[in-house]
A and B are shown apart, each in its own frame.
Chain A
Amino acid sequence: MTDVPVDFTTLPPERGTNYLTDEFTIRSWLFTTDHKRIALLFFASITVFFFVGGIAATLIRLQLLTPGGTLVGPDVYNRLFTMHGVVMVWFFLIPSIPATLGNFLVPLMIGAHDLAFPRLNLLSWYIFSLSGLIVIYAIVAGGVDTGWTFYTPYSSMFSNGHVIAAAMAVFVNGFSSILTGLNFIVTTHKLRAPGMTWYRLPLFVWGIYTTSLVMVLATPVLAITLGLMSAERWLHVGFFDPALGGDPILFQHLFWFYSHPAVYIMILPAMGVVSELIPTFARKPVFGYRGMTYALLAIAVVGFFVWGHHMFVAGISIYSGIVFSFMSFIVAVPSAIKVFNWTATLHKGVISFDAPMLYALGFVGLFTTGGVTGLMVATLAADVHLTDTYFVVAHFHFIMVGGTVSAYFGGLHYWWPKITGRLYNRSAAIIAALLTFFGFNLTFFPQFILGYLGMPRRYFAYPPVFQVWHVLSSAGASILAVAYALPMFYLGWSLLYGKRASANPWDATGLEWLTASPPPKHNFEVTPTVVRGPYDYEISEDGRSYARPQA
């Protein structure tokens, strides 16, 4: 069969309506079942929460500029870091890529007209919004000071914050997670277009799929745990109270049984995004496609067996510690494989440095740094010193922020033309990406040093000897804030004045690029038939690279 490469970039934009212009009423938005509109609804919600969490972070870093801690008092500070954690984890990071990019792209990438359960998708957004209202109530009513980890007995018997409100917000939020995950799992199994076999799926879809498996299985345990803790607090009955024979460590086991897989919920979609960006901008198939899918599955599965590494100093037995440390090293292996494969994808590629690629490369670097420091905290004897210090704070911010947020921004920039039909200013985006990388490193690298020096977490004030590192960190945070705010301006500008995008401005191979930008309401006029795997980029003899789309 002859494969003549089709140059999609020069097609004129589609006439007729797209999913945005199909209807303009508020009702058509609030009662939509179109996965693309629901993705935008989620995008609006999580952006709001990104700012809420970001404001908390700003106040924290301002407070920590001086050792005396005079900007806010200890009670307010304790509520700030708690709300920063609660909001960022459940109301930004967990839904970020799945509910926005995932919702928008998964049906497009598999050649479907929508998700399996469109109404459930909308319900998921409403439940998310409800949980958002509850958490805003909790903040406005005075906040919670237990830390996002809600450890008992402090949370259930001592704290005078709005613990139950916050716990209920998270509980309700969990249903949104579960419904979204359920939708993606079923969609991926049942709605793939003809010819789209499992091993022809783009890695983004694999990323969302494996994430969804974790979401669906882990979140219920969080639900019952927060329920038990809330019952203890409300009814003064001691599930975890030693006086009644209960055990606060049981709370920690139950909490971390969810919360460790939760961090994989936050990183697997990001890995999926990066696996889309690098092949496109290196004009080369991803190195080791099957290995990459197995790695995603391995991380999802093994990730359920490492939760005890949050408890090495909590009072678990030495033998438990040994098992959990071992498993934590095992789960690091597939992550390492992914980093090596991304690097190898660059070898003999044809690499261009648009903003999405810069974010993707930034991800690879920052995730690597975060990952090797993960090895350090997985090492038992080292963790005894490092746990509960800023070392851990730095470690997880490298992964969550340096990793997930970078990938989220990279994905946003990559698929922005598809979602909005507009192109943004290339240089402004490149500057924002570079500024992000620089600002991020300045913010969080000093925190590794702070941690080894012994600076504990969740301190509103600290001994003056730590100040220099805190000042560096806060300086970096100010740069990072600018870097995150910049896209608002040029992306917003592009909505009004940006050049219109063609169907495939990046000359990429996925099914999403075969339909107009923005796509029509039902994605494809005709269901595509898939004939090859993803990332079929080649170099011809004369050095020109061209792409063969999947259908």
Chain B
Amino acid sequence: MDQALHQWVPFWPDTASNTGDVVNAIFIGLAAVAAFICLFNYGLVALFAVRYRQGSTADRSHRVQETWHWEIGWTAATLFAFLLLFVWGAGAYVWLYQPPPIANEIFVVGKQWMWKIQHPDGVREINELHVPLGELVRLVMTSQDVIHSFFIPAFRIKHDVLPDVYETLWFKPTKVGEYRIFCAEFCGTEHALMRGKVVVMDTKAYQQWLTAQPPTTSLAQQGEALFRQLGCSGCHGANSAVHAPPLEGVYGRLVHLSDGSTVRADDRYIHDSILLPESQVVAGYQPIMPSFAGQIGEDDVFKLIAYIKSLGESPRPVR
């Protein structure tokens, strides 16, 4: 299908993921409908313009007086066609934006004006994202400063990244190669230079690439080092004199807050606990935790989350 497209439309862009195939199909469907409507309409206008031009001898008697049945007819047809397109697009959107359970999470931080990528095994990349062919990947993304947007045209996916929020994208690469990453939300002077590339490699090449990377500890291990370095264990450690919530097994658990509400301890919760601690205080504890905003970046927060997750995860309820 992709080859046929490239043959007929020489400038057709690369499609390199399962998500891309789905969007291609929808776009081609839309383009067909659009072309039909345009040709039909332009054609009629041209036909009438010629046939009924001033001075032509076409029959102009019996002009349509009752217009209602025509109008109801084409309104109904239009509505029906539009609703079909809507359902098709909505269904695919739900599929695109609701990632299936995926083990391989890669963390992305957008900041003026670069993309920082962290793999769970600790490999770091700047403006590049290496992924193995045929495996599901889930991106967890945030921004360090302003709103950016992570866009991979060849995968036909995009999502804005905002400060203090985690957004996700997922895909399965289906073609080896290098594909552009763009920032798609205006973010300042060098917005246009905030580009990168996704490198899809077959399994063997990917393993080789991994082993060629500088040795590093895993994200969780880096998080543990940070945990000690920043003094977190001083309060949250086992022998601490300070009354602070224990973190073993907290990830994924329901937490009761001091204002009476209950939240699940997900990535966002842990992020906010570190950077905006006074916004959510666990019931039964004092709001004495200092904020680390400004001291550590979003990429460091990912490490801490990975570490806390490694301390034990409560199973999420099945939806």
Where the two chains meet, the residues of A that have a C-beta atom closer than 8 Å to any C-beta of B are 69, 74-75, 78, 145-147, 151, 153-154, 157-159, 242-243, 245, 248-249, 282, 284, 287-288, 291, 312-315, 318, 321-322, 325-326, 329-330, 332-333, 336-337, 339-341, 343-344, 346-353, 361, 364-365, 368-369, 372-373, 375-376, 378-385, 387-389, 449, 452-454, 456-463, 539, 543
Subset of 24 A-B contacts with CB under 8 Å: A75-B189, A78-B191, A153-B145, A154-B186, A288-B71, A291-B71, A312-B93, A318-B94, A318-B98, A321-B93, A322-B93, A325-B89, A332-B82, A350-B52, A364-B41, A375-B30, A376-B31, A379-B30, A379-B89, A381-B90, A452-B27, A453-B13, A458-B186, A458-B192
Q: Which residues of B contact A453 (CB under 8 A)?
A: 11, 13, 153
Q: Determine which of B96, B163, B182, B186 lies in contact with A454 in the assembled complex, contact meaning CB atoms within 8 Å.
A: B182
> By the criterion CB–CB under 8 Å, are A379 and B71 in contact?
no
Beyond the given A159-B188, A249-B162, A382-B27, please list 10 additional residue pairs across the A-B interface where CB-CB is below 8 A. A315-B162, A333-B75, A333-B82, A347-B64, A379-B26, A379-B86, A380-B89, A385-B157, A388-B151, A454-B154
Quote the shortest CB–CB distance from A306 to chain B (angstroms): 12
Q: Determine which of B33, B67, B89, B164 lies in contact with A242 in the assembled complex, contact meaning CB atoms within 8 Å.
A: B164
Q: Which residues of A contact B151 (CB under 8 A)?
A: 388, 454, 456
> By the criterion CB–CB under 8 Å, are A151 and B186 in contact?
yes
Contact string against A for B residues 136-158, beta-carbon threshold 8 Å, 1 for contact and 0 otherwise? 00000000011101010110111
Quote the shortest CB–CB distance from B267 to chain A (angstroms): 15
Q: Which residues of B contact A325 (CB under 8 A)?
A: 86, 89-90, 93
Quote the shortest CB–CB distance from A250 to chain B (angstroms): 12
> By the criterion CB–CB under 8 Å, are B34 and A337 in contact?
no
> By the criterion CB–CB under 8 Å, are B82 and A154 in contact?
no
> By the criterion CB–CB under 8 Å, are A385 and B93 in contact?
no
User: How many Å lie between the Cα of A339 and that of B37 in the bound state?
Assistant: 11
Q: Which of B44-78 contact A (CB under 8 A)?
A: 44-45, 48-49, 52-54, 58-64, 67-68, 70-71, 74-75, 78
Given contacts A153-B147, A372-B34, A379-B26, contact A349 B52 (CB under 8 A): yes
Given contacts A380-B93, A381-B26, contact A288 B192 (CB under 8 A): no
User: How many Å lie between the Cα of A414 and that of B304 in the bound state?
Assistant: 69
> By the criterion CB–CB under 8 Å, are A462 and B192 in contact?
yes
Where the two chains meet, the residues of B that have a C-beta atom closer than 8 Å to any C-beta of A are 11, 13, 22-23, 26-27, 30-31, 33-34, 37-38, 41-42, 44-45, 48-49, 52-54, 58-64, 67-68, 70-71, 74-75, 78-79, 82-83, 85-86, 88-98, 112, 145-147, 149, 151, 153-154, 156-160, 162-165, 167, 180, 182-193, 195, 276, 279, 293
Q: Which residues of A contact B11 (CB under 8 A)?
A: 449, 453
> By the criterion CB–CB under 8 Å, are A315 and B186 in contact?
no
User: How many Å lie between the Cα of A507 and that of B311 in the bound state?
Assistant: 85
User: How many Å lie between the Cα of A382 and that of B151 in the bound state?
Assistant: 13
Q: Which residues of B contact A74 (CB under 8 A)?
A: 189-193
By beta carbon, the residue of chain A nearest B53 is A351
> By the criterion CB–CB under 8 Å, are B189 and A153 in contact?
no
By beta carbon, the residue of chain B nearest A282 is B52
Quote the shortest CB–CB distance from A20 to chain B (angstroms): 33
Q: Which residues of A contact B157 (CB under 8 A)?
A: 384-385
Main secondary structure of the interface of A (DSSP, over half): helix
Quote the shortest CB–CB distance from A308 to chain B (angstroms): 13
User: How many Å lie between the Cα of A330 and that of B30 in the bound state?
Assistant: 16
> By the criterion CB–CB under 8 Å, are B188 and A158 in contact?
yes
Given contacts A322-B90, A347-B52, contact A153 B146 (CB under 8 A): yes
Q: Which residues of B contact A154 (CB under 8 A)?
A: 146-147, 186-188
Most buried by A among B97, B98, B156, B158: B158
Q: Which residues of B contact A291 (CB under 8 A)?
A: 67-68, 71
User: How many Å lie between the Cα of A369 and that of B41 in the bound state?
Assistant: 10
> By the criterion CB–CB under 8 Å, are A380 and B54 in contact?
no
Q: Which residues of B contact A336 (CB under 8 A)?
A: 74-75, 78
User: How many Å lie between the Cα of A376 and that of B156 in the bound state?
Assistant: 14
Given contacts A288-B71, A315-B160, A388-B149, contact A543 B64 (CB under 8 A): no
Quote the shortest CB–CB distance from A462 to chain B (angstroms): 7
Quote the shortest CB–CB distance from A394 to chain B (angstroms): 13
Q: Determine which of B75, B79, B88, B149 lies in contact with A313 in the assembled complex, contact meaning CB atoms within 8 Å.
A: B149
> By the criterion CB–CB under 8 Å, are A344 and B186 in contact?
no
Q: Which residues of A contact B195 (CB under 8 A)?
A: 463
> By the criterion CB–CB under 8 Å, are B33 and A372 in contact?
yes
Q: Which residues of A contact B164 (CB under 8 A)?
A: 242-243
Q: Determine which of A157, A347, A382 lies in contact with B26 in the assembled complex, contact meaning CB atoms within 8 Å.
A: A382
Q: Which residues of A contact B167 (CB under 8 A)?
A: 315
User: How many Å lie between the Cα of A315 and that of B145 in the bound state?
Assistant: 16
User: How many Å lie between the Cα of A78 and that of B113 in the bound state?
Assistant: 15
Quote the shortest CB–CB distance from A73 to chain B (angstroms): 9
Quote the shortest CB–CB distance from B1 to chain A (angstroms): 16
User: How many Å lie between the Cα of A453 and that of B12 in the bound state?
Assistant: 7
Most buried by A among B11, B31, B160: B160
Quote the shortest CB–CB distance from A146 to chain B (angstroms): 7
Q: Which residues of A contact B68 (CB under 8 A)?
A: 288, 291
Q: Which residues of A contact B185 (CB under 8 A)?
A: 151, 388
By beta carbon, the residue of chain A nearest B187 is A154
> By the criterion CB–CB under 8 Å, are B34 and A381 in contact?
no
Quote the shortest CB–CB distance from A168 to chain B (angstroms): 21
User: How many Å lie between the Cα of A153 and that of B75 in the bound state?
Assistant: 43
Given contacts A315-B162, A325-B86, A380-B92, contact A352 B54 (CB under 8 A): yes
Given contacts A291-B67, A291-B71, A339-B41, contact A456 B183 (CB under 8 A): yes
User: How many Å lie between the Cα of A309 and that of B150 in the bound state?
Assistant: 18
User: How many Å lie between the Cα of A381 and that of B155 in the bound state?
Assistant: 12
> By the criterion CB–CB under 8 Å, are B70 and A288 in contact?
yes
Q: Determine which of B34, B95, B163 lies in contact with A373 in the assembled complex, contact meaning CB atoms within 8 Å.
A: B34
- Closest 7 A/B residue pairs (Cβ): A454-B153, A379-B89, A380-B93, A381-B92, A372-B34, A242-B164, A346-B48
Q: Which residues of A contact B52 (CB under 8 A)?
A: 282, 346-351
Q: Which residues of A contact B67 (CB under 8 A)?
A: 287-288, 291, 341, 344
Q: Determine which of A151, A159, A365 lies in contact with B147 in the assembled complex, contact meaning CB atoms within 8 Å.
A: A151
User: How many Å lie between the Cα of A361 and that of B45 in the bound state?
Assistant: 8
Q: Determine which of A245, A326, A460 lies in contact with B192 in the assembled complex, contact meaning CB atoms within 8 Å.
A: A460
User: How many Å lie between the Cα of A457 and that of B159 in the bound state?
Assistant: 15
By beta carbon, the residue of chain B nearest A155 is B146
> By the criterion CB–CB under 8 Å, are B158 and A461 in contact?
no
User: How many Å lie between the Cα of A361 and that of B71 in the bound state?
Assistant: 20
Quote the shortest CB–CB distance from B168 to chain A (angstroms): 11
> By the criterion CB–CB under 8 Å, are B160 and A314 in contact?
yes
Quote the shortest CB–CB distance from B300 to chain A (angstroms): 17
Quote the shortest CB–CB distance from B64 to chain A (angstroms): 7
User: How many Å lie between the Cα of A459 and that of B13 in the bound state?
Assistant: 19
Given contacts A313-B158, A381-B26, A454-B13, contact A329 B83 (CB under 8 A): yes
> By the criterion CB–CB under 8 Å, are B63 and A242 in contact?
no
Given contacts A351-B54, A376-B27, A454-B153, contact A78 B189 (CB under 8 A): yes
Q: Which residues of A contact B38 (CB under 8 A)?
A: 368-369, 372
Q: Which residues of A contact B78 (CB under 8 A)?
A: 332-333, 336-337
> By the criterion CB–CB under 8 Å, are A348 and B63 in contact?
yes
Given contacts A288-B67, A343-B48, contact A242 B180 (CB under 8 A): no
> By the criterion CB–CB under 8 Å, are A375 and B64 in contact?
no
> By the criterion CB–CB under 8 Å, are A350 and B60 in contact?
yes
